[in-house]
Chain A
């Protein structure tokens, strides 16, 4: 299959079942809502080393937030509900509670609940105030700039992490420019995040390593500087490969994000140095979700 001179490999992205939650962070203005959200989603690229994968889903107009202030929607993904709860509480406490003028609210409804302000309220040292408004409990915690408002709980849901595709290009600049276009397009899709820096990852990994202590190591088949040394998957003209990883709260959201991202890359076409689109998988044995590139683009 080819799109605008770009070959789309007959392969698939292998993704995993995860637990996810959404929270809404608001502040006095969009800048400070972003500051809190950026802090909360920092160091959250991969569950392997960070415990959680997190990102900003979208910016919210005041009319779309519970307290009528500018806000940001944040999605967090973890491999278990327990780890998700731990990371959510820790990051809310260290990154949102600490951010000037911030407030945090549940971003999704559901039966399975995660503590949000439920335990953070004790920071108020007995001066915290509970308010039950519209059937939802909120905690007002006194802080040095006034009050931190936090909803008691948020919901969690089953989700998908690890949707991906690889952009193979003649050189670094071409690969990066195409990925930047893809990221812009993919971030418009509701219900997904791109957890890596700027949405792009250059250090794709394979399972295992020659070193026993490591569970993953560099994806040597796609490293251009290892061509000739290992069983490379790269053609002679491929000078750089970048990957975009996407997590989503539904299978459809991940597939749609992949579709618009690949389409954006293909839009640049072969004349801008884009050669192939491929995807990362583990032979289909590890992840229960398989996103076949040619089906996604059909």
Chain B
């Protein structure tokens, strides 16, 4: 069953879409979906006051959200399975804590997208805000698995407190990329801002371009052939259907190790 939620008009408050997931809509008709409670600001409203509900029985496990603006938060938060497509811009905390399934956004998203996600795939065709994949407010861990891919640019602190999984940024990476990273892999195809990898303990930051500067607590480790990049290259090609490529994975790459002030088992690899 495919459900489309089309936002009726721009809201003067942010909409909280928590709980509206493909699995929760199975077997419901438009009327039943329409009475689901949603928060607009701090007030509860039936879903039908904010969205037009369209149902198509041909597709399976697909929820399509058509926002009027980028102020719908928590789209796909806690997603366990099925697919969500957002046609337009999404708000904050898109796919927060998701443990499976897939979300694709055709536009931009706000802050904390993929926050603390554990599994599944999240693709953002536009730009993402701050703390992409970072921890939910007060949380200890950011992304703990799965794949986040952003075709555009991201804000500050992407990959913050990342523990596991893969974060791919085709555009620019913003300041403090991989901030306080614990493990996992981040790839950035564009430019990066200041304090890249600051306070990272372990994990891998792969940069297509050399950053303007690195924290002084990173040590130049030299150029090396790293066989695991070949595995990563194949996996990225699979995950992105051949659209992302690490280049010649057999070639030597420039490696920096750090952050030496925080355990120092992390690494920044520069491909060019």
Chain B residues, Cβ within 8 Å of A49:
none
Residue of A nearest to B231 (CB): A133
B230 within 8 A of A: yes
Size bracket, chain B contacts: 20 to 34
Most buried by A among B202, B224, B231, B249: B231
| B202:A129 contact, CB within 8 angstroms | yes
B231's partner among A67, A127, A130, A146 (CB-CB below 8 A) is A67
Q: Does the CB pair A138–B235 fall under 8 Å?
A: no
- Point out the residue from A68, A127, A129, A134 that lies within 8 Å of B249, measured CB to CB: A68
* Residues in A whose Cβ lies below 8 Å from that of B196: none
Question: A146 and B225 in contact (CB under 8 A), knowing A68-B230, A69-B230, A133-B232?
Answer: yes
Q: Mark B206-231, 1 if CB is under 8 A from A, else 0.
A: 00000000000000000011111011
Tell me how far the C-beta of B245 lies from the nearest C-beta in chain A, rounded to whole angstroms: 13
Interface size band for A = 10 to 19
Q: What are the residues of chain A within 8 A of B265 when measuring CB–CB?
A: 127, 129
* Interface flag for B191 (CB, 8 Å): no
Question: In the complex, how many angstroms separate the beta carbon of B129 from the nearest chain A beta carbon?
Answer: 27
A140 at the interface (CB under 8 A from B): yes
Q: Is the CB of B39 closer than 8 A to any CB of chain A?
A: no
- What is the CA–CA distance of A227 and B205 in the complex, to the nearest angstrom? 73
Any A CB within 8 A of the CB of B250: yes
| Whole-angstrom distance between the Cβ of A258 and the nearest chain B Cβ | 37
| Cβ of A25 to closest chain B Cβ, rounded Å | 12
CB neighbours (8 Å) of A134 from chain B are 231, 234-235, 238
Q: Contact check, B228 vs A149: say whether CB atoms are below 8 A apart.
A: yes
Q: Is B183 an interface residue (CB 8 A)?
A: yes
Starting from the known contacts A67-B230, A69-B230, A146-B224, 7 additional A-B residue pairs (CB-CB under 8 Å) come to A66-B230, A66-B234, A69-B227, A129-B265, A129-B267, A133-B228, A146-B225
